[in-house]
Amino acid sequence: MSSDVQIIEKARAERRTILTEMESKQLLTSLGIRTTEMRLAPSREEAVALSREVGYPCVLKVSSPDITHKSDAGGVKVGLASEEQVAEAYDAIMSSCREKVPGAAIEGVTVQNMAPAGLEVIVGMATDPQFGPVLMFGLGGVWVEVLRDVSFKLVPLTKDDARSAVTEIRAAKLLEGFRGSAPVDKAALEDILLRISDFVAKTPEVREMDLNPIFAYPDGAIAVDARVILGE
């Protein structure tokens, strides 16, 4: 069995429709999409031990099948520069998540390498009742939240679809470099869209995907957060 199928079967066996960030990123890795390295720490001590392996600065995020919007629950701490900061972040994440989402099952935290800042973009997949799977591309932050500046393409995407998905958003100029910054690697973003398209075309049980954000760089792109939702 390929690993994307194994990850989905495991969630099914546990009667879950929402894959954790860790599972979602393992799935992306199996599709050839770059993500941050991450390890699960079930305790404060293990979080500290793993942070030594991952190196500093690192990121801690709550891992819970019941918490899908991790920052809203106080479940994300970035830029942790030492063992002490990791230990404090672990405690802060646990107490905030217990308070904000009472009763949530918490597996622990994931310890991740901190991806260098890049231009934040998002790739999403949703299932339209009429048209079936649709992919969405946009820039992160206000561009998507306030201006709803996104493009949509029906699965399966052609190479031309992927190219126009990236270039037809209103803010596409930002991809060409902004205030002296180098242009981002549009081919890497198109490649992500095509890999997701291939995957969802052959995996109809996936109902929704969110790669939010992806950090885009002059050379490559990396998914920093991911969520996959299966149909009932």
Smallest separation, CB 202 to ligand ADP (Å): 27
Phi-psi region of 139 (alpha: psi -120 to 50; beta: other; left: phi over 0): beta
Q: In angstroms, rounded to a whole number, what is the distance separating the alpha carbons of residues 80 and 92?
A: 13
Q: Which helix (H) or strand (E) holds 45?
A: helix 44-54
> Using the rule CB under 6 A, is 124 a contact of ligand ADP?
no
Angle at 129 between CA 161 and CA 9, to 5 degrees: 85
Binder of residue 224, out of Mg ion, ligand ADP, none (CB less than 5 to 8 A by kind): ligand ADP
Binder of residue 110, out of Mg ion, ligand ADP, none (CB less than 5 to 8 A by kind): none
Spatial CB neighbours of 20, under 8 Å, sequence gap ≥ 6: 63, 64, 65, 107
Query: Scanning residues 21 to 40, which ones bind ligand ADP (CB under 6 A)?
Result: 36
Among residues 78, 87, 92, 94, which is the contact residue for ligand ADP, using CB under 6 A?
A: 78
Nearer to ligand ADP, 37 or 46 (CB): 37
Nearer to Mg ion, 4 or 225 (CB): 225
> Using the rule CB under 6 A, is 224 a contact of ligand ADP?
yes
Q: In angstroms, rounded to a whole number, what is the distance separating the alpha carbons of residues 207 and 17?
A: 9
Binding segment for ligand ADP (CB under 6 A), chosen from 63-71, 92-100, 185-193, 196-204, is: 63-71
Cβ neighbour number for residue 171 with a 10 Å cutoff: 14
Among residues 59, 60, 139, 229, which is the contact residue for ligand ADP, using CB under 6 A?
A: 59
Among residues 20, 26, 51, 112, which is the contact residue for ligand ADP, using CB under 6 A?
A: 112
Smallest separation, CB 159 to ligand ADP (Å): 29
Nearer to ligand ADP, 153 or 227 (CB): 227
Phi-psi region of 9 (alpha: psi -120 to 50; beta: other; left: phi over 0): alpha
Q: In angstroms, rounded to a whole number, what is the distance separating the alpha carbons of residues 126 and 95?
A: 33
Residues that bind ligand ADP in the complex, under the rule CB under 6 A: 36, 59, 61, 69-71, 76, 78, 112, 114-115, 213, 224-225
